[in-house]
Amino acid sequence: MNENQRKEVSNRVAQLRADYVARLPSELAALSSLGESVRAGEPDRGDLQSLHHRLHKLAGTGGSFGLTELSAKARALERRVERWLDEGLDTIDDAAGRALVEDLGALHAAAGKTDPVLQSSFLPRKKTPVSEVAQIWLVEDDPEVGRQLRYQLESFNYSVRMFESIDEAGRIAETERPDLLILDVMFEAEGENSTEKMSRCPALNRLECPLLFVTSHDDFMSRVRAARLGAMGYFIKPIDVPRLVNRMAQIFDQRRAPPQRVLIVDDDADLAEHMRLVLMAQDIRAEVLSRPRDIMEEIAAFRPELVLMDMHMPEFSGPDLAGVIRQHENYANLPVVYLSAETDIKQQVRAMDRGADDFLSKPISDFQLVAAVRARIARARRLDEQISKDSLTGLLKHASIKEAVDMNVRHAHRVGAPITVAMLDIDHFKEVNDSYGHAIGDVVIAAVATLLRQRLRQSDIIGRYGGEEFVAVLPECDVGNAKRVLGDIRERFSSLGFSHGGQTFKCTISIGLASASQHPESDGAELLVTADEALFKAKRGGRNQVCEAKPA
């Protein structure tokens, strides 16, 4: 979302609130009229239910638009009417009726008082995109260490700019910014600890980019100062480059992740639209469900990562809809969160027993809404990754990558597009485990995974097939281009240095390729077998090479 779009959204939010405030007098007049009807003799249960529902909406929406006092008074009246409904009153005595009418009339005065905190809480988020080739600033006063680290980072497709002092980086930071900053902790020539100096360098502090520290000094206070500066990693020299790069990849994966998706289910159109705009301004995709009967069709089409719904709605309650969602196996883990003015703990617990995961109380500020949505979807994404992705590499697990191969090969055959499947295997990997241990073997496996993620396209699909073996699916890519790209990855991996106990060693990979164009009768499973045969040919031919499967 660009700056003009943000301003437009901000203006629409302000206008939505202004329109709501302008309509309040007529809504309050309708409430007063209902109060008079209820007061007159035997109350009609339909009038009481209508009064209760309108007060419930006023308590939630009014507060969310900054009318805190109005919200509190409406909630107190809502509870009073709710008790009458629960008790099944046949008549309301004169004193109670007069008090109801007076308190409804007092809502008019409260409607003019706004809470500046809630009212001004909307703040459009300016999201800084990551460059296609991430720009890394490396501030290191040892030129040789810096050159070696720069060379290895560039093998992982990062663009690296070197600085030998914090002051030099600070001057450039006045006009330019990186995607990630790596700082040495101790600068001998300057005689300063960068975790101390960084706090006194406004230009570097304003960069608002991820920060990593590298150091030979692992002291606790430096780590504490790094944490206070928001550092996302602290690495001890000699630097384990694959681990450093893996952390960098995790950071950029999070920043490049697709927008979060939220489905809003609320019968209050003003509040639902307000929430949609607030979330949209924070780069969160949100849609409003206008017909609760269509909830499953909307979920299937929009694929939300969280359903945010009111608990009390006139036709179907939140628990009704949550129960319907949970009847579908595909959505058993879809987070459902109630957002309601309901404050009765027993009611909340009862409602959550019927398929919801959490409960947020109206009124809610824009900041609270955005923070709650982000945190819950982030947790759901992490859970989904744990289910479908390998914990060491972050790549798809065996079953998931096989499914991806089959699905993408079928699609390629259907539309007549090229697609290539690659099988990769680390050469002599057993010797790595036997010589250096399984922990170092894991580092080597993680390095292959990170290199594949960095050098392949976002549209390519990568999985850990098992042990030291990987699969890559390259849609819209013929075997010639695949051979060029994966040959480059093979060369870069062979140049990486791994260290253990003062020893440095290198590894290589062998790769087999199979193209759907050259094997038009093959489905996904068969193409995997063909790629595996090509891999075996690469191994038998001397390893550290790329072989393609020729058509029969």
Residues annotated as catalytic are: 468
**Residue 263 forms beta bridges with which residues?**
287, 307
Closest to 312 in 3D by CA, of 31, 21, 59, 20: 59
Q: Which residue type occupies 86?
A: D
Is 513:421 a contact under the CB 8 Å cutoff?
yes
Instruction: For residue 238, say if its preceding peptide bond is cis, omega within 30 degrees of 0.
Output: yes
CA torsion, points 23, 27, 33, 39, in degrees to nearest 10? -150
Strand partners, 375: none
Which is it for the CA torsion 33, 39, 43, 49, positive or negative? positive
Retrieve residue 519's tokens.
């094997």
All residues at 6 or more sequence positions from 214 whose CB lies less than 8 Å from its CB, including other chains:
140, 149, 182, 183, 184, 185, 235, 236, 237, 239, 244
- H/E stretch holding 474 reads strand 469-475
Please, are residues 337 and 262 in contact by the beta-carbon 8 Å criterion?
no
For residue 286 the two structure tokens come to 């949100």
Residue 23, Cβ density class (10 Å: 0-12 exposed, 13-18 middle, ≥19 buried): exposed
CB-based burial, 153-165: b 16+ in 10 Å, e otherwise: bebbbbbbebbbb
Burial class of residue 434 (count of CB atoms within 10 Å of its CB; 0-12, 13-18, 19+):
exposed
H-helix segments, 65-126: 68-87, 94-110, 116-119
Give the residue among 350, 280, 402 at the shortest CA–CA distance from 5.
280
Distance between CA atoms of residues 278 and 282, nearest Å: 7
DSSP symbol at 396: B
* Angle, in degrees to the nearest 10, between helices 3-39 and 45-64: 150
What gap in Å lies between CA 88 and CA 403, rounded to an integer? 58
C-alpha 457 chain-centroid distance: 20
Closest CA to 252 of 318, 185, 159: 159
Tokens standing for 317? Answer: 């309650």
Q: To which residue do tokens 């009073």 refer?
A: 80
Other Cβ atoms closer than 10 A to 303: 11
The residues, any chain, with a CB within 8 Å of residue 408's CB and separated by 6 or more, are 419, 461, 473, 475, 524
DSSP reduced 3-state for 139? strand
